[in-house]
Structure 1
Amino acid sequence: MDIPVAENVLGTLGAVCWSIQLLPQIIINYRRHNTEGLQGSMMLLWAAAGVPLGVYNIVEEFNIALRIQPQILTVLSLVTWSQCLYYGKRYSVTKCIAAVVSLILVLGGIETGLIFALKEAKSQHLRWPLILMAVLSACLLAAGVLRHYWDIYVHRTVRGISFFFVGIDAAGDVFSLLSVLFGPTIDILGIVIYGTEFVLWLGIFACGGVFNLLPWLKTRSKRVETSQEPVSLHPMPSSTSVFRTASASEVVERRGWPRVR
């Protein structure tokens, strides 16, 4: 069966967004040399979520872009997680690289084994293993974002996370969601996976507006008000009083000259 053009294009756009989504976050972490507020557990959960998501998309024979997408998610999540180790826990570069490579090998091996196992299950008309993969990936993705919700609740601010990253990720969810909708058949589980994360990102944006944007606007308006010093106007006898010429008698008295009778 030919893949519809709309499904392929939208899936590719979704994969592109997910390919670069964490790059703004990685760049910000590098420039400020810390990951304060960024949840390392979130990155680990996302890296793990790429495994069942990749299995589901590959076994269900989604378009190529959606098959590659979870693998990119896992790699970038692990790179960001390594930054949390390096800047947050002061791990050495060698330890960070070793941790990332080890997890990539372990997760890659698990995903490969699950793909072969679930393809066999699908050939036997067993649907529950695929349903389990879809539910597991949705839960792990949601848990990663919800971990940041807890940080927002504790600190009453959205900290450590790039809104550029959030926006790109949300756009990737939308394109991937539309790609699933334009497929040969509407996949409900695919809609749940991408739709759940998109809704959670909207919540992050809302929290950013309440806890970050509004206080910033209030502070800025106060600075503008305090920078404008009030001008005090002193009452004057008349509009021309500042131009008065001293009389002759006033000049004589001021200089101490003798008065002429």
Structure 2
Amino acid sequence: MCPGTLFMVRFVNGLEARYPFADNLHPVQNLATVLLREDTGGFASAGWMLLKFIAKHAKALDTQATANVGTRLLARLRDDDAFAQRLAAAYRLLGEERSNESVRRDVSDEEQLAELMQRLFAVLPADEWLALFALRPARVLAAGGSKTLGTIIGARHFGKDALRDLAQRRFDACPAAQVIVMGHTHLPDDQPSNNRHYLNPGSWTRYLDLDEHPHISLDDLRDEARFPYELNYIAVEAGADDTPLVARLACFERSA
């Protein structure tokens, strides 16, 4: 599994045990942005590593600066012999013998650091990884879980405008189509155009757009009942004779 999938399976699934709303942020990499604000327990390091991974594999990444986590970890590696020794020991899990100085030599910039963190994330239990890369110590989470929650790399490319463009490409590829429905995106939409209709019910779960709640912290994600939701469905009915299909977005349940 790539680091993005590992992050979801081994970290976010465990995170949900204490913060049930953790996977409901949209787009999904906004979870990493929230983690960057947590200066204890390795959460900021996890968020930083994930954003570095996304930035490496997605040409356009609209996110805040990844704080100074990398700078702080590199300074710690340079100045803290105990930290360097723990990294050298962790290298053995990768089948490599290292000294403190060789670790410092080979992990000298943020890209090298992020790559090492991703490699270690694949072999260390999540709680041990968090403890190793904590900026400040705290009681950390024991992570686990068996399901994936989404594709981390693709999240940036599934905003409302991108989905509308995708629907238009589907219409272009199939000129006879009258209605296109997409879902599971947390982004309800209702876009009629020239006897064609793109609809999206969003998702059958509560969701949170970080743009509307820019100051959300990890602790705010403990109680999902705090957040409003709207459960929608799409109704499509045949038109009379040769008239187009009638499609509409309808609400099944709403909570303010």
TM-score (norm 1): 0.26
Higher helix content, 1 or 2:
1
Higher strand content, 1 or 2:
2
- If asked which structure has higher relative contact order (CA below 8 Å, sep 6+), I would say 1
TM-score (norm 2): 0.27
